[in-house]
Structure formats: structure tokens, C-alpha cells
Amino acid sequence: MAKKQAVSFKLNGRQVEVLVEPRELLIHSLREKLQHTGPHIGCETSHCGACTVDLDGMSVKSCTVLTVQCQDAEVLTIEGFEQSGELHALQEGFTQEHGLQCGYCTPGMITRAFRLLKENPSPSEEEIRYWMAGNLCRCTGYQNIVKAVQYAAKKMSSAHT
Amino acid sequence: MIPREFEYYAPKTIPDALGLLKQFGDEAKLLAGGHSLLPMMKLRFAQPGHLIDLGRIRELKGIREDGGTLRIGAMTTENELIWSKLLQDKCPLLVEGARLISDPQVRYKGTIGGDIAHGDPGNDHPALMLVLGASFVLKASTGERVVPADGFFVGSYATLLKPGEIMTEIRIPVPAPGTGTCYAKLKRKVGDFATAAAAVMLRMKGETVQEVAIALTNVGASVLRARAAEDSLRGKAMNDASIAEAARLAMSICDPAADQRGDAEYKTAMAGEMTQRALRTARSRATH
Ligand SMILES: Cc1cc2nc3c(=O)[nH]c(=O)nc-3n(C[C@H](O)[C@H](O)[C@H](O)COP(=O)(O)OP(=O)(O)OC[C@H]3O[C@@H](n4cnc5c(N)ncnc54)[C@H](O)[C@@H]3O)c2cc1C
Ligand code: FES
Ligand code: FES
């Protein structure tokens, strides 16, 4: 068996270290070793986006990234969004606009939308649909997810002015 | 779904990566964005004993222009292509093509070099590379060679890349001003590979086709260059009849495998349709 390696990275602002075989996928380290079960496992084939996390400023599907690739990285998961009891604008948006039903896709949706709004603070509806297309939802029909992202974009831009 | 065991290396320089490749020979695989390789490893279609991650080699990144040639590091990601002002200005075909590849998350990881090296007939970059007249820099511990895209793709998952080589750079001559290009891709849904797609590069002189290149994605064992279709257009005026004839000639070289995207007849028909659309759009974008 390949030797285990210690991998350290920043998870939601906190330094963590895990001991993993090189073949371990980031989603498994997060869920099983670091008790961060917000990122979900859906398809396991890089299609659904339920496992999306933010890795060094990129939205990635953590079922298709090896934990050993994350040495010194900064990882953000849905667990890092709420700050001292205050929901993030995106979490509030998904609540206010009914952007979820079963909620399975929601952590991935919010994490992805976070990076989208960093790159484009006021996206058009078409841009939201194009740049959120790597996240599948089986319940909502997407309309309210788009509205939730628009809600957050508005709230975040007014907070800046 | 977890890959079989392997040893992992993250070299920081090209010579170090080449040294590891040499040391482990056939047992080793290079890891770029991992979005073709890791899924294959999870399904145990690929089981390398040693994985050499190119992700920490800075030299392999970046897009620049150098004396009329665009030089793109092999580890440049699809999103970096999409966001490049230089490419939007000088080679919008590459931006259009990258936008049609998979979905945002895959595009943060997937690299142009990995897409070309993988040799999957479903990959989109090979067709773009053929019509743009690209060439690839392949480095080995014994030296480097530059090979043209035309002839590089020799079959399903087969290219001219040799086991000890790393693709370091993609070179593309900046298309002449007034060149019209288009990538027309039919896919069933976001994130899917092409049912059929056509890349076109077109230069006009008045109403006459001066130069044209056409390549087809996912309708053969590897990307196809539609030479007879090109020949039928060159030196003539472009109209509905000549476009239809070019599409017919493009279809005549298609030999797609039937799968859930459709049977061979349907895919061939769609390759013809994509050829027509790409030709029309490229013409509307070309200066006359
Ligand atoms: C859901 C999904 C949908 C997709 N849809 C599309 C699509 O529509 N169109 C499309 O074109 N692609 C698609 N892809 C594939 C994606 O673009 C891959 O990222 C790409 O095919 C490979 O690039 P990579 O950087 O991920 O390479 P990897 O997966 O890391 O490597 C692929 C192969 O190339 C070799 N390699 C990589 N880099 C080099 C190098 N510099 N020198 C030599 N060899 C190298 C590796 O050893 C490996 O054998 C999709 C992938 C997924 C997961
Ligand atoms: S579980 Fe990772 S994309 Fe579906
Ligand atoms: S809310 Fe159920 S999958 Fe999206």
C-alpha cells in the first residue's frame, strides 16, 4: 500500500492536517476525517456539483480532486459561510427566495454562487445560468435558485456602497 | 469510487518531472487538471502506479504573444482561456471553444494541454488546434521537439506523444486580421461531450473563399480534418449550394460510434449540420 502522507491546508480559515493515502479524494477527507459533511456526495462522476467546494479561489468538484493536491491550499465549504450567528447573504437569499426544496444540492449551489459573485458581482440572469450550470438540482426547476443568487448579489452590492 | 493505490509526486520544475517520468517509465502517468484521468482512475480504467502532478510547475502556465505566435502553457485552464483578453482579441475561436467545454467547475481544473494530450475523440481542443494550424512543444529528458497538430491525433486515445514526454506549450499562429472562425457544437445537455461538432477557419477575398479549414469532433476514432470539403470551397464563391456540398463531403468521412447520444446515421447528419452552421457563422464573422 502506498505510504500515507500528512497534508495540511486551511479549512474555513482554520489550519488542519489529515493523514491520507494519495488515492483519497478531498470529499472523503472533508466528510470522514474533518467532519465537514456540508459538501455532499451525489454522482461521484464529476457531473452533479453536490460536492462543490472553493479551493484556492476556484469552485471545484471535490469528488475529482485528490486530498494530496491540497497541500497549503485554502478550502472553503458551506460550514464557513455563517459568521457569528449571521447568515451569509447567499444563505439568506436561498431562504427568502425558496431556492431549495430537499436541500441536497444547496451547499454546492451556495459555494459555487459565492465564487461566481466574487468574479462577477452583478451577473445577468443568463450569466447566472451559464456559470452555475455545473450544479444540478433535482427539485427546484432552478428559477428560485437564480432569484436567490440575484437576491444575494443585490444585498452584497448595497453593503459595499 | 476510489482509485487503486499509487505513489504521488508534485515536482516543481520540468526537469524534475521528466526525471520522475524516466525513472518510472510505463508505470507513471502525468496529472494535469485530472478531469479525464481521475474519473478513469476511479472507474479503474486507468491504474498508474505513480502519479506525477504537474500542478506546481509554474513554467507550464500562462498565455502570451511572441512575434505573431500565441504561446499557451499546457497547464493553462479552460477558464483562464475564457477570461483571456489577449485570446478574445487575437483568437476568439479558442474562447468560443473553451466556453462550450463541460461546466464551470470542470473548466477551473481542466487544462488545454490535458485536453489535447488525452486523445479522446470527444475532446474539443483537437478540432480547434487543427483549423488554427497549431503546433505542440513536447519535452523529453533527451531534448524537445515541436510537432504540428495536423497528424498528431492518430486514433482513439492515441497521439504522437511518447511515454517520456511532457507537452509544455501550445503554439498558435495569430490568425490574420479579417479571419472568420466558428465552433459549432451540438450537445444533449450542459457538461456533455459533443454529439457532433465542427470547427471552421475562413479567409475571404471579396466573395471568394481564399483559405478554409474544417475539422470535426467526435464522429470518428479521432478528430477528422475534412479536406475534401475544404477543397470544394477554396477559390470559389460561397453560397447555399456550395455549403451543402461541403457538408456532404464532410459527412462522407464520418465514422462515428453509436452510443446514448445517437446512432451513426444521426451523428453523421449532425456533423453535416454543424459544418453548415460553422461555415455560415464564420462567413458572417470574416471581413469580405
Ligand atoms: C463532466 C465532464 C464533462 C466533460 N466535458 C468535456 C467536453 O465537453 N469537451 C472536452 O473537450 N472535454 C470535456 N471533459 C474533459 C475535460 O475537459 C478534461 O479536463 C480534459 O479532457 C483533460 O484535461 P485535464 O487537464 O483534466 O487532464 P488530465 O485528466 O489530468 O490528463 C488527461 C491525460 O493527458 C495526459 N496529460 C495531461 N497533461 C499532459 C501534458 N502536459 N503532457 C503530456 N501528457 C499530459 C495525462 O497523463 C492523462 O493521460 C469533461 C470532463 C468532465 C469530468
Ligand atoms: S459528487 Fe462530485 S460532482 Fe457529483
Ligand atoms: S433542492 Fe433538492 S436537489 Fe436541489
pLDDT digits (tens, 9 = 90+) for B124-179: 999 999 999 999 999 999 999 999 999 999 999 999 999 999 999 999 999 999 99
Average pLDDT over every residue of B88-113:
98
Q: How far is CA B167 from CA B55, B270, B281, in A?
A: 13, 32, 32
More confident residue, B134 or A1: B134
Cβ-based neighbour number of residue B148 at 10 Å: 14
Question: How far is residue B95's CA from residue B80's CA, in Å, rounded to a whole number?
Answer: 9
Q: What is the pLDDT of residues B21-49, one digit of tens each?
A: 999 999 999 999 999 999 999 999 999 99
d(CA B220, CA B102): 20
Q: Rounded to 5 degrees, what are φ and ψ at A5? A: -120, 145
Contact A21 B103 (CB under 8 A): no
B68: Cβ contacts below 8 Å, ≥ 6 apart: B173, B174
**Are β-strands B166-173 and B69-73 bridged in parallel, bridged antiparallel, or unpaired?**
antiparallel
How far B107 CA sits from the closest chain A CA (Å)? Answer: 9
> Residue B35: closest CA among chain A residues belongs to which residue?
A64
Report the candidate in B236, B228, B229 with the shortest Cα–Cα distance to residue B278: B229
pLDDT for position A3: 87
Q: How many CB atoms lie within 10 A of CB B176?
A: 11
Count of CB atoms situated within 10 Å of the CB of B252:
12
Coil/strand/helix, residue B224: strand
Instruction: Provide the 10 A C-beta neighbour count for residue B288.
Output: 10
Contacts of A14 (CB under 8 A, 6+ apart): none
Q: How far is the CA of A79 from the centre of ligand 3 (A)?
A: 18
Cα dihedral sign, B8-B125-A118-A155: negative
Please report the number of interchain residue pairs, chain A to chain B, with beta-carbon separation below 8 angstroms.
83
User: Pick from A82, A108, A98: which is nearest to A141 by CA?
Assistant: A98
- Residue B24 contacts by C-beta under 8 Å, 6 or more apart in sequence? B49, B50, B52
Position in ligand 2 atom list of the atom nearest CA A51: 2
Chain A contact residues (CB < 8 Å to B) = 1-3, 5, 21-25, 28, 44-47, 49, 52, 58-61, 63-66, 68-69, 71, 112, 116, 131-134
> Does A61 sit within 8 Å of B105, measured CB to CB?
yes
How much helix, strand and coil, in percent to the nearest 5, is found in chain B? Answer: 35, 25, 35
Query: Which helix H or strand E contains A27, and what residues bound it?
Result: helix A26-28
Report whether A51 contacts A25 (CB < 8 A): no
For the CA of B35, the nearest atom of ligand 1: 26
pLDDT tens, residue by residue, A112-136: 999 999 999 999 999 999 999 999 9
Are the Cβ atoms of A5 and B51 closer than 8 angstroms? no
Minimum distance, in Å, between the CA of residue B2 and any CA atom of chain A: 7
Residue B105 confidence (pLDDT): 98
Interface check for B109 against chain A (CB to CB < 8 A): the answer is yes
Residue whose C-alpha cell reads 485530472 in the numeric block: B34
CB contact at 8 A, A45 and A27 = no
Average pLDDT (B60-77) is 98
Report which secondary-structure segment, H or E, holds B204: strand B196-205
Contact residues on chain B for A128, CB-CB shorter than 8 A: none
Instruction: Return the pLDDT at A160.
Output: 65
Q: How far is the CA of B3 from the centre of ligand 3 (A)?
A: 28
Q: What is the mean pLDDT of residues A32-45?
A: 98
Cα nearest neighbour of A42 on chain B: B1
Q: Measured from the CB, is residue A46 less than 6 Å from ligand 2? A: yes
- CB-side exposure of B93: number of CA atoms within 13 Å? 37
Q: Which of A26, A31, A46 to mutate to test the pocket of ligand 2 (most atoms within 8 A of CB)?
A: A46
What are the tens digits of pLDDT across the range A48-94? Answer: 999 999 999 999 999 999 999 999 999 999 999 999 999 999 999 99
Cβ–Cβ below 8 Å for B104 and A44: no
Is A2–B8 a contact, with Cβ atoms under 8 angstroms apart?
Answer: yes
For ligand 3, atom 4, name the residue with the nearest CA.
Answer: A137
Other beta carbons less than 10 A from residue B261's beta carbon: 20
Which pLDDT belongs to residue A100? 97
Enumerate the H helices of B12-111 as residue ranges.
14-24, 37-42, 78-82, 85-90, 92-99, 104-109
Q: List Cα–Cα distances, B124 to B95, B129, B160, B186, B198, in angstroms.
A: 12, 9, 18, 12, 9
The per-residue pLDDT for A2 is 74
Pocket test for ligand 2, best of A61, A105, A112, A136 (most atoms within 8 A of CB): A61
Which of B5, B53, B102 is nearest residue A69 as measured by Cβ atoms?
B53
Chosen for mutation from A27, A46, A54 (greatest number of chain B CBs closer than 10 Å) is: A46
Percent of chain B at pLDDT exceeding 70: 100
Longest Cα–Cα distance of chain A, Å, equals 56
**Contact assignment for B34 to A69 by CB distance below 8 Å:** yes
Residue B279 vs residues A55, A57, B42, B226, B267: alpha-carbon distances, Å: 40, 38, 39, 13, 18
Q: Which of B94, B177, B157, B83 is nearest to B129 (CA)?
A: B94
Give the count of alpha carbons within 13 A of B244, CB side only: 3
Which ligand is in closest contact with the Cα of A65?
A: 2
Its pTM surpasses 0.80: yes
Q: Does the C-beta of A47 come closer than 6 Å to ligand 2?
A: yes
